Amino acid sequence: MLLIVPSVTYRAPDFMAAARELGAAVTVASERRAAMSTAMGERALTLRLSDPQDAAETIVARARDTPFAAILGVDDQGVMTAALAAERLGLAHNPPAAVACTRDKAAMRRALAEAHVPQPCFALLAAGADVPTAARKIGLPCVVKPLSLSGSRGVIRAEDPDRARAAAERVRGILAATGEPADVPLLLESYVPGAEVAVEGLLCSGRLEVLAIFDKPDPLEGPYFEETLYVTPSRLPAAVLAEVERITAQAVRALGLREGPVHAELRVPDQGVRVLELAARSIGGLCSRALRFGAGVSLEQLILRHALGLGADDLARESVAAGVMMIPIPRAGTLVEVGGQAQARAVEGIDGLQITIPRGRPVVPLPEGDRYLGFLFARGLTAAAVERSLREAHARLRVRIEPSPGPVPEATGVR
């Protein structure tokens, strides 16, 4: 199979380990050959992921010599290329038009609106738009978003029209730092209060199999929306969870997705459920390590088995509760050290800690940043016990960040 792995992803090792478990021959494609293991040899492929059409043509050309049984985009940057190439090669795939909707928040909002899927009220902000007037029409508080970024980067809540205008200017500055044109539209949404959940699912010929629903116990109320805790199983009432599943499936149908992993973010206000985001990929970062299925099968193994048409005997998640904390960056500067790691690992229920930013590197918090210091993992008899373990372990970490000697560089895009 072909794995499309952006050079800045955290997730390549877990997918490669899953492929080895299955005995699958893998070709790894990325933007830079240096980002791929030299051991891959001829089974490495360099693609221009910024140009999905060109990247798909490169894959089709390689397939003449190395036929592929499946093509999988591991992260957001590769899902469009995967859909286009799989379509041209006659492999199981998501329709490219459906994947395009997941990569453009405005297109996704329009598709959901046409299908009457519950979601926030929204408007598109063109360059030079009267942001205060638009904010009053949408309703306050409101949320300003870029159309293309992910992981809550550039997402800002505004309480009044003037703050909405300032937020839009700040978001445009964040986009400029990523190389986006200055005149790209922004998305303005009404703020939806309530608990937030994440849904992890797998699509088989258009049918959604929900694999896990995560609670996000920390309130995500803004002004920035830095995600920290994910805990499963959800502690919401069964009727609410059934509605979460129903609305997620409705959103998948509205976008036209058909095959492979999906990751959705939804809010649960006092009345109803609202879709915030939906991506044609699995959960980001190292968060999938909190999930195990059947007899210890990883999420990546399930995804690869489906892509290769091998099926899966048991999609049920393990019976114990599990969770992950994405360790936030408290302030900008240079990371000196993360102390207390041994003490954090010693907390009952903790079964993993990985710091993903090396010492001496610049760090930038949200909304400009797009990385976390690392990931804590826990398991326990109940979701409440898992949450306690994660919070206690995090409290034992001692993060030392010193001011940088010059301007802090922009985040690198590592996910």
Residue pLDDT, tens place only, 280-302? 999 999 999 999 998 789 999 99
Q: Which two tokens stand for residue 65?
A: 């010599």
pLDDT for residue 296: 87
The reported pTM is 0.93
Architecture of domain 121-190: 2-Layer Sandwich (3.30)
CB 8 within 8 A of CB 412: yes
- The interaxial angle of helices 161-177 and 131-138, nearest 10 deg, is 110
CB atoms within 10 A of CB 294: 14
Q: Which residues contact 66 (CB under 8 A, 6 or more apart)?
A: 27, 43
One-letter amino acid for residue 227 of the chain: E
The shares of helix, strand and coil residues in the chain, as percent rounded to the nearest 5, are 35, 25, 40
What are the boundaries of each domain within the chain? 2-100, 121-190, 321-415
Percent of the chain, pLDDT > 70? 95
Residue pLDDT, tens place only, 203-223? 999 999 999 999 999 999 999
Residue pLDDT, tens place only, 77-131? 999 999 999 999 999 999 999 999 999 999 999 999 999 999 999 999 999 999 9
What does DSSP assign to residue 316? P
List the one residue out of 86, 87, 84, 115 whose CA is nearest residue 100: 84
Q: Is the peptide bond before 6 cis (omega within 30 degrees of 0)?
A: no
CA distance linking residue 368 with residue 182, whole number of Å: 16
* Pick among 3.40.50.1110, 3.30.830.10, 3.40.50.2000, 3.40.50.20: CATH of 2-100: 3.40.50.20
Q: Which residues contact 101 (CB under 8 A, 6 or more apart)?
A: 107, 108, 111, 255, 256
Q: Which residues contact 280 (CB under 8 A, 6 or more apart)?
A: 73, 79, 83, 94, 98, 99, 102, 257, 260, 261, 262
List the one residue out of 415, 410, 413 whose CA is nearest residue 362: 410
pLDDT for residue 406: 61
CB atoms within 10 A of CB 80: 24
In CATH, what class is 321-415?
A: alpha beta
Q: List phi, psi (to 5°) of 308.
A: -90, 0
pLDDT for residue 182: 75
